[in-house]
């Protein structure tokens, strides 16, 4: 099954669900087989594009959230509004083929960050307890 974002890694999908839900972003691009620069993380399922179109304020809010949760989400880098963020506290001018003024691009590491978003959308972490907690909650049972 390809999942919501075209077959991205589980921790990337969980991050997409978390950010998309928090900021009411309905249009999120994920895995792709073409249309991006050579070596793009979209080709391996480790990138998401949060489409905000003309809502710069929403893009700024998403970027701030990504920066505040960088390690937990397992972020590799982000691009927004002509800026490249190789870390949450560093910005460089971005001169790639797209100015990224209509979407926030987030690339993720190959593995989830420590205590990353709950895979499956539950309330736990990305560890076994978090995964089991998601399953248990899905059935309406209590986790103790």
* In contact, 15 and 48? CB cutoff 8 Å: yes
Closest CA to 126 of 110, 112, 105: 112
Tokens of residue 16, six digits: 């997409």
Closest CA to 116 of 27, 6, 42, 11: 11
Domain map (residue ranges) of the chain: 10-116
Predicted pLDDT at 130: 43
Predicted pLDDT at 15: 98
The model's pLDDT over 45-72, given as tens digits with 9 standing for 90+, comes to 999 999 999 999 999 999 999 999 999 9
How many beta carbons lie within 10 A of that of residue 62, not counting itself? 23
**In sequence order, which residues have a C-beta less than 8 Å from that of residue 85 and are 6 or more positions away?**
63, 67, 77, 78, 79, 91, 92
Predicted pLDDT at 111: 84
In this prediction, residue 115 has a pLDDT band, given cuts at 50, 70 and 90, of low
Which residues partner with 106 through β-bridges? 48, 78
HEC string for 99-113:
CCCCEEEEEECCCCC
% of the chain residues with pLDDT over 90: 67
Average pLDDT value for residue range 94-111:
94
Predicted pLDDT at 83: 98
Whether the model pTM is above 0.75: yes
């Amino acid at each position: 099954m390809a999942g919501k974002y075209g077959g991205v890694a589980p921790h990337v999908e969980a991050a997409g669900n978390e950010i998309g839900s928090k900021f009411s972003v309905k249009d999120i691009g994920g895995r792709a087989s073409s249309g991006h620069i050579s070596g793009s993380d979209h080709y391996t399922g480790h990138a998401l594009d949060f489409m905000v179109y003309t809502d710069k304020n929403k893009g700024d809010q998403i970027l701030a959230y990504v920066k505040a949760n960088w390690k937990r989400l397992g972020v590799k880098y982000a691009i927004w509004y002509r800026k490249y963020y190789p870390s949450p506290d560093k910005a460089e001018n971005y001169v790639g083929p797209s100015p990224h003024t209509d979407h926030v691009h987030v690339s993720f590491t190959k593995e989830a960050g420590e205590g990353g978003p709950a895979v499956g959308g539950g309330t736990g972490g990305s560890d076994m307890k978090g995964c089991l907690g998601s399953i248990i909650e899905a059935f309406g049972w209590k986790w103790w």
